[in-house]
Structure 1
Amino acid sequence: MKKLTGILIAIFLIIANLAYLKINTHDFTVKRLIFLNMGILISDLAFWIFLYLNLKKRNFVIFLFLIFLVLVDLDRMNVQVFLEYNDMVTGGIIFPTVIGAVRLAYLFVSVYFFFFLSDFKNFLLRIAGILNIIVAVLVFIEFDNSFAPYLKIITAAVYILYIFFFLGKIKEEKTEKKEEKNENNTEKNNLTI
């Protein structure tokens, strides 16, 4: 069931990013732009949360990564949907500084997330981390509408491979350890009797 859930989330991320790619070539209504951007936001969150929950170790910085991911996705949606938001960003000093700080923080936590994923010694997780860093760089230099969806699609495809080849092995290892522990407990109980 866990594998199926992961695959469905990755497919949802791919579909949301494919739909998002049409923004550059079509004139959409505000409602449709909000819908497409919310699809990106929800699929990003679901994807990274599911990935994190299926890793053995936990780290608080990943929570910061998710917060900055939401802020960056909301910033992208506001730029595309609300004209007043563009005026606020280009017309002042404080607001662009805050936006830049959020994007820079997203870049830093993405780099940290890569090193966190590298601890697992799995090349597919490292590829996902590298692609996420590239997306964070594109977000920082405000060039993320063109290439970032493609990189997210590749990341989702890599994660589907990870699910097929490694997620099942992790579950099998946990099952084997539980069986060994149960056998050891049974042996101890028999010896004491």
Structure 2
Amino acid sequence: DIKMPTLSGLDMLKTIDNPPKVILTTAFSEFGAESYEYGVSDYLLKPIAFERFLKAVNKILIPAHTAPGPISSTPKQPAPEVIFFKADKKIHKFHHKEILYLEGYGNYVKVHNKQGKSLLVLDKLSNMAAQLPAGQFLRVHKSYIINLVHVSHIEGNRVMLGDIEVPVSGTYKQQLLDLIGKRL
């Protein structure tokens, strides 16, 4: 929080030589610009919607792969291999390797795991795709994203994940074949 009884959140950040990833929460919008000068990962205004909080946490756990970062002599830490989903009034943690595929249902996504269980999450498939590593997960249909680690074979317009059949639409088939071809 920014306004605390004895020391403000920003004052505390100033005292730390190598601060961890920080998400500031406050009811005061005027500190937003200043907070980013101290390397704050996100700035949340109270009251905080849980979805917004979850997005901020995932932003820290899953760094954006789109913008090139500054050249650094320090080695980068490997990207986290987990993702968090909110469902059934709980936050569920999934390791990427556990996810078999995701199935979109409008504003919901069913996440299927290797153990044959599934979890229904209130989110859009496109939002989930942005949070998963592109080299491991691939959209193969408007309603499906697969984990390439679990592909056993491709047959016609379907991809087999063990004994589970997932349709591949013409729109995404060439992208799938190109990606698989690069790994041969």
Structure with more of its chain in strand, by fraction: 2
Q: Fold match, TM over 0.5?
A: no
Q: Provide the TM-score with structure 1 as the length reference.
A: 0.26
Structure with more of its chain in helix, by fraction: 1
Higher RCO (C-alpha 8 Å, min separation 6): 1
